[in-house]
Amino acid sequence: MVWNEWDVRTFERAQRERKPVFLHLASAVSRLSSSVDAVYERPQVASLLSTRFVPVRVRAEDRPDLVHRFGSGDAAPVVLDHSGRAVSTLSFFSPEDLVEALGRTADSCAFGGDAGRGKASPPRPAPLSELDPARPAAVLAGLKFEGSGSCPCAESLELLLYAAREWKSPEVREKLQFQFSRVVRSEAWDRKDGIFAWPDEVPRLDVNARLGRLFLDASALTGDASFRETGLKVAESLLRSFYDERVGAFRLVPEASARVFYADANAMAAVCMLRAAAMSKGGDWREASDRVLVFLTNMFDMERGVAHRWDGKAALHGLLGDNAWTILALTESFLSGGSKAHRELADAILKIMFQQFWEGSAGGFLDRVPEESDAPFLKTVVLPGPLNAVALEGAWRLNHLKGNIHYGRWAEAGLKSVVPAADGDGCAAAALARVQDMLARGRMDLELVGRIGDAATEEMLAAVNSHYLPRKIVSFVDPDDQDFILPHKLKTQTWPKLFGCIDLRPKMEAGRPSEVAALLEAIS
């Protein structure tokens, strides 16, 4: 069986030979991959694919933009027309089912039926003139945690966690406790290995990095020791089984023979390691996060943004997820440790995103940068809700960290554009609802006066980082800086000193780590 590459020549051949394209998005995390590949090698199946289709095989993890459009193809490959538009999805339970489906689909395309013309893309919902302030609460109330399989999506759990912190509702706090406890009772949790894995899938980095961080945040909010234990177990498993010391980055799947590393998943892992460092004095969390951030820095190109994959060299620039998640990891590093270099790199990436990914007519971020060589259908506008939530949260952070009011305005415009398309998609709606509420409530404003690296300052910062503060914006003030004299010399003659600000004015101060919790409560 000879597979073709995903490129413009393949679609030119499909048009020239009047054949549909058979797209197999093979996943590295699926336990079904080897058995599905064996089906395609069956003589009757291979003959049909070779003679009546242009077969294309793509590694799903290499092309998340294709997964966004067509879904994973291990059990349900997709048939496309020569423009790249989806014709049909072929679900099958046996080689005989697939042979029948292939013949039926090829006949339909050849005779110009509805399938041959391709399915029309749904119209884009009109942008909102205003955001409904009641929407975040309505989205949370409508989430169906019990009906979402063995484990709710990370976006739903994160909205629940955020609401428990910011809305101060006993009912939401109780729901949080129940749902997070339910996750560790699900079949996805392997308590022995300290890892989450879905049926028919091997454990994967991105899923575990996000869930591990959420459990650590839940522990910081509730004080539940079992949540902390779960989060640290996941972080330990990631370091033990996914981390490659030679590269300073995490593989997508544990102990993979192929040394392929993905930027978006590594950015998620860096955030998880930073939270583990905040919740545990031991471990190699901070060192691992620092090395991953170096890896991500090396994946960055000043003209094209962050590359998606590395297997000896950086490859495939122009995907939203890599850039958005890298911004979140870099700003998280700044907020937790004061790395100005990371803040500046995040700002540089965001500028590229607004130049290349921003949808000009209404707003929101495209899932990928269109290229001249794309098949026509890949040039259609796709604004993925969950990835836009990550990107817009990064824009919101940098609005405050860099004092760029345009970032805040664009974040609001992006929400108005992307929110309507999230109706009916619980995970996307949850992610966008959380960011909308962040924008509406504004920043939790902290100023830390002290020298980064000084032991006393680090203790004060550790006390802040041990709390779950999703709206936290920290301004680091160096007492040796000349700018310190004007705005801060009259406030304090000693440091470290933490100020809690309201409307950019200090309202409460803490001179010792033991005073931090009271300060945070006072300005919440």
* pLDDT digits 0-9 by tens, 328-376: 999 999 999 999 999 999 999 999 999 999 998 889 999 999 887 787 7
Average the pLDDT over 33-62 and give the result.
90
Please tell me the predicted confidence (pLDDT) of residue 148: 47
Integer CA distances (angstroms), 157 to 26, 51, 267, 369, 385, in order? 28, 47, 19, 30, 16
Please tell me the predicted confidence (pLDDT) of residue 110: 65
Q: What are phi and psi of 28, to 5 degrees?
A: -75, -15
- pLDDT band at 258; cut points 50, 70, 90: confident
Q: Kindly report the CATH number that applies to the domain delimited by 446-523.
A: 3.40.30
Q: Buried b vs exposed e over 351-368: b needs ≥16 C-beta within 10 Å? A: ebbeebbebeebbbbbbb
Residue 419: closest CA among 439, 401, 400: 439
Provide the residue ranges of all domains of the chain, joining segments of one domain with +. 8-117, 135-295, 299-442, 446-523
Whether 486 has a pLDDT exceeding 80, the answer reads no
Whether 116 has a pLDDT exceeding 50, the answer reads no
Count Cα neighbours of 269 within 13 Å in the Cβ-side half-sphere.
35
* Fold of the 8-117 domain: Glutaredoxin (3.40.30)
Question: CB of 210 within 8 A of CB of 157?
Answer: no
Please tell me the predicted confidence (pLDDT) of residue 114: 45
Say whether 299-442 and 8-117 share the same fold.
no
Q: What kind of architecture, by CATH, is found in domain 135-295?
A: Alpha/alpha barrel (1.50)
- pLDDT band at 511; cut points 50, 70, 90: very high
Question: CB of 433 within 8 A of CB of 385?
Answer: no
Provide, rounded to the nearest whole percent, the portion of the chain with pLDDT above 70: 93
On average, the pLDDT of the chain sits at 90
Say which DSSP state 421 is in: G
Please tell me the predicted confidence (pLDDT) of residue 205: 96
Whether 417 has a pLDDT exceeding 90, the answer reads yes
Q: Kindly report the CATH number that applies to the domain delimited by 299-442.
A: 1.50.10.20
Q: Buried b vs exposed e over 436-453: b needs ≥16 C-beta within 10 Å? A: bbbbeeebbbbbbbbbee
Integer CA distances (angstroms), 430 to 168, 184, 440, in order? 18, 21, 15
Whether 484 has a pLDDT exceeding 70, the answer reads no
Whether 113 has a pLDDT exceeding 50, the answer reads no
pTM for the full predicted model:
0.94
Provide, rounded to the nearest whole percent, the portion of the chain with pLDDT above 90: 70
Residue 480: closest CA among 472, 468, 489, 471: 489
